[in-house]
Structure 1
């Protein structure tokens, strides 16, 4: 029986190899707007290599970083229109277009990137086919929870009054504005100049981005409370998906998974931990930890944001109560909550 099972498995593997051998090789154009050395790209390189190996070499993927194929805000449409085969999308760059997944932008929801990514991806799969119907959804993930980094101390919400802060997305911008901050629309790359000239007082980002964009020496005060995350998705052009063989689609489906959603951000999350530790050792940096009363103030201020999300989701024809219960269950399952 064991010999028969072995021969059957060998035959199946041989047939699988033959199927890949007959597949037309493809080289997929992968458009990303981050740079080639961004920490997300290390996990992505592992993902690409695994796809190439699992497909018997029939699927190759070439990355086009730094907005080579189009602006960051256009990457969803690049996949939709077949200009790119796969793209990195930040749904927050298209405010109001993807209301369901914007739950991941709500302040004070998630505790870590890998666990949060698994929770977000697992939950969003029930909604992606409708909300992102123009493309083939691959997976959703997030960066490590970020906070605000300023040129002066911020511990309680009242400390934001009169400060000019760059938010990471529209959801966080509304939250900061509701607490008295003036929000500045600028890219992360522009923030060093704005902070050093005094045009801005702070920015929202994970700790790793302070190093990526050279901001650490001008934003030396850090709110020691994980405030927000940004959502990202990998999507595939429907034209590209249609021209893949069944065997190649199966490989892509194996790699467009909740497990890979958590795995792909592990290096990025580790870099965030390392960068924070380096700042803690630097005497020039100050970490402000809210007391229980101040923490309660920060959390209470999210209530209007949650209500707004429910309204947007309902307007899109989605059961907001079911969606909210679903994400909360996924967060609990993956131990991803604060």
Structure 2
């Protein structure tokens, strides 16, 4: 009897010294459904695959993640609610597809804020962690990130804000839509997947996109004029369903927390950012594509036109119950820390 007690005590002590991976391997296996609205070959998915593999390894194989691409679980605009309602365990959300619903994070959509995807993602994620609970309290926030700064791509030349008058342009989000509308453009609300059809039918004269999207969505042959200045970024978040979170053990939750980080916010977009650089270079070699860079005076016109948008964001942030001045100072400090500003 004493020997059995000794062996039990020894076994318990040994379990306490097991490596984290071994302990996690004893957890119940969990397969999480990741809903994304982009296709399986989208450049973001390479970064996501690395993220998924790292989670699986760190969890000792107890966490697997199955991707459901191309809106299999629901429409692009519904992905936040898919996680909230437990239809997806993790979802890829563009907050800008729900105009006005997430006013705080929309700071990242303001024109002329960021210079690069990975650095900008780290700055945005680091800053937004203090505010995610305010406007995303019904899900488990994971991380925020962005694509490379995009611009407008049109079927005719655009150099100055006045050139937008009378044009129909598909904006990437509501914030950019307000900016373009204020410059005289007619905006068309549509998802990225609908861009080619709108342009080829003449329903739209242009779209706001990073260069990689011209290849991803097959529109490089219809939008051949490019305003050569980084105009905007689109924000994205990974969020986790509370139902799925409750299924994870404490050790598994720790693994997810380690992968829902500012570091991973930058890492997950690296391949996407590289793709953007490559696609731009391809277009530059194609004589059919025209890149128009505004001169200094014209650039100042574009920048000055963004001031009302910044003032509007301050109003919305205040209405959301936060100190807009402090929040703006915080994001500017994060941008400076990560060298992410224009």
Which of 314, 318, 321 is the equivalent residue of 1:317? 321
Number of residue pairs the alignment of both structures matches: 329
Match of 2:248 in 1: 244
Q: CA deviation at 1:130?
A: 2.0
Counterpart Cα distance in 2 of 1:144 and 1:170: 18
Q: Does 1:22 align with 2:16?
A: no
Which of 81, 91, 97 is the equivalent residue of 2:95? 91
Match of 2:306 in 1: 302
Q: Which moved more, 1:19-28 or 1:292-301?
A: 19-28
Q: Which moved more, 1:73-82 or 1:142-151?
A: 73-82
Match of 2:10 in 1: none
Match of 2:218 in 1: 214
Q: Which moved more, 1:85-94 or 1:14-23?
A: 14-23
Counterpart Cα distance in 1 of 2:141 and 2:91: 10
Counterpart Cα distance in 2 of 1:250 and 1:14: 16
Displaced runs of 4+ in structure 1, greater than 3 A? Answer: 10-13
Q: Does 1:151 align with 2:158?
A: no
SS in structure 2 at match of 1:126: coil
Match of 2:172 in 1: 168
Match of 1:4 in 2: none
Which of 106, 111, 124 is the equivalent residue of 1:107? 111
Counterpart Cα distance in 2 of 1:278 and 1:293: 29
Counterpart Cα distance in 2 of 1:123 and 1:293: 32
> Normalising to structure 1: TM-score of the pair?
0.95
Q: Which moved more, 1:14-23 or 1:35-44?
A: 14-23
Taking only aligned residues, the RMSD between alpha carbons, in angstroms, comes to: 1.3
Counterpart Cα distance in 1 of 2:333 and 2:166: 38
Match of 1:292 in 2: 296
Q: CA deviation at 1:24?
A: 0.6
Go from structure 1 to structure 2 and tell me whether the alpha carbon gap of 1:196 and 1:259 turns closer, same or farther (over 3 Å shift).
same
Cα offsets for 1:295-325 (capped at 9, x unmatched): 1000000110001101011011110000000
Counterpart Cα distance in 2 of 1:314 and 1:164: 32
Gaps of 5+ in 2: 1-13
Q: Does 1:189 align with 2:193?
A: yes
SS in structure 2 at match of 1:235: strand
Go from structure 1 to structure 2 and tell me whether the alpha carbon gap of 1:197 and 1:17 turns closer, same or farther (over 3 Å shift).
closer
Highest Rg: 1 or 2?
2
Counterpart Cα distance in 2 of 1:132 and 1:282: 43
Q: Retained in 1: the 8 A contact 2:22–2:60?
A: no
Q: CA deviation at 1:13?
A: 6.4
Match of 1:73 in 2: 77
Counterpart Cα distance in 1 of 2:235 and 2:51: 19
Match of 1:226 in 2: 230
Q: CA deviation at 1:117?
A: 0.2
Q: How does 1:4-23 map to 2 (within 5 A)?
A: 14-23=18-27
> Normalising to structure 2: TM-score of the pair?
0.94
Counterpart Cα distance in 2 of 1:56 and 1:18: 6
Counterpart Cα distance in 2 of 1:144 and 1:125: 21
